[in-house]
Structure 1
Amino acid sequence: MTSPIGALGAVGGLSGVGGVGGVSGAGALTGTDKASGPNTDFAGMLSKGLESVQAAQTKAGDLAVQVANGTLQDPAQYTMAATEAGLGLQLTMAIRNKAVEAFQEIMRMQA
């Protein structure tokens, strides 16, 4: 039997979700809160990460409209924003899938 937590750490080289710092906009996932130091609230950290992904998708959508209107000077901005939003969504889905797998594994355990 594999450890669900160990499998989560193997996704994309994640080490406590702080490994996604290369994706701009995902800085909320680093686990630090400026007011109180290290963030120990998993739900809060997850919420910030989802907000970050949503913001990246919104930015990509806005830039897509600008590309369609012909008002965007540098189409590479849209390409980068769309790639960032796609990677954020992939990471979110991978975390969700691992959480579901962990839940299913817990449910299979005998009391």
Structure 2
Amino acid sequence: MNSAGINSVSQMVRPFETKVSTPTTTPYEAQKSFSSVLKQSIENLNKTQLQSDAMTGKLARGENVDLHQVMIASQKASITLQATMEVRNKVVEAYQEMMRMQV
């Protein structure tokens, strides 16, 4: 068997080898990061809801606003709320599953 062929194959594989490093994130940092992401998501949801309400109010008062823009804002707010509710449901389901685990 040709040892040059084996060496060339091992050199081709070597760049794909990676060292697994463990993250040094503390539980406090992870909790803080999760809470900031959650807070930002809820603020985004609130912002889209307020924009939709403002656009709908303008349309109801007869102000100069395009109907399609009002409908787009309304649908965006609705979809954002539905997605948030689905994420909440999954988080609650995961929490309940962890509580059912026997230690």
TM-score (norm 2): 0.67
Structure 1 stretches lacking a partner, 5+ long: 1-39
Identity over the aligned pairs, expressed in percent? 36
The one of the two structures with greater contact order (alpha-carbon pairs below 8 A, sep at least 6) is: 1
Superposition map of 1:64-103 within 5 A: 64-103=56-95
Q: Does residue 95 of structure 2 align to residue 110 of structure 1?
A: no
Cα distance between partner residues in 1 of 2:40 and 2:64: 29
TM-score (norm 1): 0.62
Task: Check whether the contact 1:63–1:72 (CA below 8 A) recurs between aligned residues.
Answer: no
Counterpart of 1:41 (choices 19, 29, 33) is: 33
What is the alpha-carbon root mean square deviation over aligned residues?
1.2
Q: Which has the larger radius of gyration?
A: 2
The letter for the 1-side match of 2:39 is S
Structure 2 stretches lacking a partner, 5+ long: 1-31
Structure with higher helix content: 2
| Counterpart position of 1:55 | 47
Task: Check whether the contact 1:56–1:81 (CA below 8 A) recurs between aligned residues.
Answer: yes
Task: Check whether the contact 2:55–2:65 (CA below 8 A) recurs between aligned residues.
Answer: no
C-alpha displacement of 1:68: 0.4
Task: Check whether the contact 2:48–2:77 (CA below 8 A) recurs between aligned residues.
Answer: yes
* Residue-pair matches, total: 72
| Counterpart position of 1:36 | none
C-alpha displacement of 1:72: 3.2
C-alpha displacement of 1:102: 0.2
Q: Which portions of structure 1, spanning 4 or more consecutive aligned residues, are displaced by more than 3 angstroms?
A: none
1:73 is paired with a residue whose SS is coil
